[in-house]
């Protein structure tokens, strides 16, 4: 009888431990639970491309500012780009099997690369912890992209800008046509804080440059949906996140997305 009771206790204890483990895992990955389950099951050994980025919505009335893309100069999109990791993150990223996707020097330390599906939950848990990486990448991106589009602005005028988080987008896991990997992308969509003098001045300066600087355009939501401006510039699909929660896909024109 005592042996039966002991066996019951062992079974109950084992079941309780399993339930607690399941609940604990579900809580850890609660923001991306469906993706985590996929990674632990169907996509464990599949190659995953990850890209963790932020973009900036600069709007006045019904118009949005887009700038020429440095890597795809035929397209225009919102200011923004991929977060960068710090050297202190390398040990953890190595444990995740993260392989950076580096096409040129300015992509060093970008959180864009490849890993196996079984390691994606650990990578995401690290990313959302905010440790060992940029917490806010837009100030750097604004400085870099204004230089790329040859817009001269005093450094002090774009320092200490304030941003409001509008929404976060989690895209994937999705197939990429013609590629041997699945893709996961994260976007934080921000806007400049209205009422902040530096933010307001930057917004006005950018809109003032429309029609003067060929690297800056202002477009409507309808133009973003069509992926072409009234004056013929190609609009990148990620501009769709300025007006909705999905990327804008059109059969033509089409160029590979960079982020």
pLDDT value of residue 8: 52
Summarize the confidence of residues 251-256 as an average pLDDT.
42
Least confident of 19-23, 67-71, 136-140, 213-217: 19-23
Domain positions in the chain are 43-52+79-212
Mean residue pLDDT of the chain comes to: 84
Q: Counting every residue, how long is the chain?
A: 259
Instruction: Tell me which of 13 and 171 has the higher pLDDT.
Output: 171
Residue 257 pLDDT greater than 60, yes or no: no
Single out the residue of 80, 79, 88 nearest to residue 52, CA to CA.
80
Residue 249 pLDDT greater than 90, yes or no: no
- Name the H helices within the chain: 2-28, 33-40, 90-95, 120-129, 138-148, 197-209, 221-226
Instruction: Tell me which of 71 and 203 has the higher pLDDT.
Output: 203
Query: Which letter, b or e, does each residue of 61-99 get, where b requires 16 or more Cβ atoms within 10 Å of its Cβ?
Result: eebbbbbbbbeeeebbbbbbbbbbbeeebeebbeebebe
In the 8-state DSSP scheme, what is residue 85? B
pTM for this one?
A: 0.80
Summarised one tens digit per residue, pLDDT across range 193-208 is 989 999 999 999 999 9
Q: At what angle do helices 120-129 and 33-40 cross, to 10 degrees?
A: 150
Single out the residue of 210, 258, 202 nearest to residue 75, CA to CA.
258
Summarised one tens digit per residue, pLDDT across range 220-233 is 999 999 999 999 99
Whether 258 contacts 101, CB under 8 Å: no
């Amino acid at each position: 009888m005592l042996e039966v009771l002991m066996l019951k206790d062992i079974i109950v204890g084992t079941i309780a431990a399993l339930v607690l483990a399941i609940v604990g895992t579900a809580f850890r990955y609660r923001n991306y639970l469906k993706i985590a389950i996929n990674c632990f099951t169907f996509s464990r050994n599949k190659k995953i491309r990850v890209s963790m980025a932020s973009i900036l919505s600069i709007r006045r009335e019904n118009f949005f500012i887009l700038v020429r893309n440095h890597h795809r100069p035929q397209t225009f999109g919102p200011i923004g780009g991929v977060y960068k990791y710090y050297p202190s993150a390398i040990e953890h990223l190595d444990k995740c099997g993260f392989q950076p996707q580096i096409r040129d020097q300015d992509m060093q330390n970008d959180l864009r690369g490849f890993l196996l599906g079984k390691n994606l939950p650990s990578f995401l848990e690290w990313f959302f912890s905010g440790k060992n990486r940029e917490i806010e990448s837009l100030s750097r991106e604004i400085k870099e992209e204004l230089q790329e589009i040859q817009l001269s602005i005093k450094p002090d005028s774009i320092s200490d800008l304030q941003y409001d988080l509008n929404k976060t987008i989690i895209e994937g896991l999705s197939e990429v046509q013609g590629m041997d990997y699945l893709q996961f992308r994260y976007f934080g969509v921000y806007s400049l804080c209205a009422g902040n003098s530096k933010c307001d001045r930057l917004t006005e300066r950018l809109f003032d440059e429309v029609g003067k600087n060929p690297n800056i355009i202002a477009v409507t939501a309808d133009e973003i949906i069509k992926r072409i401006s009234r004056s013929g510039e190609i609009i990148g699909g990620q501009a769709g996140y300025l007006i909705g929660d999905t990327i804008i896909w059109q059969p033509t024109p089409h160029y590979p997305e960079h982020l």
